[in-house]
Amino acid sequence: MTNSRTYVVGGRVITPYRILPRAGLVIDGSKIAALFSMDGFEMDPGAEIIDVNGAYIAPGFIDMHLHGGGGADVMDGTPESMTTIAECHAKGGATGIVPTTLTCPHQDLDSAIQAFERAPKTSSKGAKLLGLHLEGPYFSQSQRGAQDPEYIRNPVPEEYLPILDSSQSIVRVSAAPELPGALDLGRELRRRGILASIGHTDATYDDVVTAVEAGYTHMTHLYSGMSSVRRTRAYRVAGAVEAGLLMDDLTVEIIADGKHLPASLLKLIYKAKGPGRIALCSDALRASGMPQGECILGSVSNGQRAIVDDGVAWLPDRTAFAGSVATANWLVRNMIQLAGAAVADAVRMASLTPARILGIDASKGSLDVGKDADIVVFDDDINVKMTIVEGNTVYRNL
């Protein structure tokens, strides 16, 4: 698709709040020029027309937390891996992704940041690279999950300020706010306009309240690597999970791959937070889009072994999940089938809500005139038929 006027027609157009039957839209260059009903609408003669034959026409999915796909990982430290990951997730309907690092040696983190800087942010077959997410190393050891314990530590300005200064592409940092120095980190992230996210944390409810006051506004994969109710001298004390569910000022993300969270918890989160405060994320590893078997979590040289089995990645001893192998369309499908979400709500959690959390909703996240033409076409089973990024078709299976 070039910068000519293009019509995507004959579908069900999804807005954040409803579905328009027998409708379509106009793409002019990289932008959405119009939405229309098929009844009586006249198209420009000679324009390209894409008939989706009754499929859904939705805003492109935004995956704000993933590590890899297609056999590549962010921690490979190469621009080529970033492109491979973007191409893998475009096949699942993602038009924008936020590649994510792991707790690792400093030189590996620096290599990943530099690789992101050098990587093309758009490609002919992939999702757009929206920015970089630093997941760690400032985490609780007791809630580390698959994060390497050797490199977990407390935040100190002498370390994190040079890291933040090294790249304008860092859009998000996850940390455990109960650690010494973590509140100052949150304030610094807020000052820079970087999303401060609570993750891999053993915080109490009161710790989270203090963190929100210091600038933390989001929760990294709710329930996963996160404290819940505990007893202290016989008294029950609410944890980070309960804070995330209760506090309206906090947005949350969930790994809705059908493995990390059962249907009951997906329903609870959906009921408690609503589609305007939930972002669906894959937390996908390099094994996404690849056959089951062994894979490496993180860099090939310093990463950890993981095993992909039954549609999810495990640590070798199977004591914890290492991450998912999902793509964004899986997440949407599961919210519909497991959580009972309406289609428009499920799509909103994968598009407009993450766009708002990332602060890019002025141009992305919904099918609106003047916004970027980021579009995904999928069938009733949420199988992706076409992915369009800023007016360019990067994947097509119509």
Query: What residues act catalytically?
Result: 283
Between vectors from CA 78 to CA 288 and to CA 166, what angle results, nearest 5°?
A: 115
- Asked, as a colleague might, if the bond just before 137 is cis with ω within 30 of 0, I would say yes
d(CA 297, CA 48) in angstroms, rounded, equals 43
Residue 61 to residue 94: CA distance in whole angstroms: 4
Nearest to 252 by CA among 264, 238, 237, 240: 240
Separation between Cα atoms, residue 354 and residue 349, nearest integer Å = 7
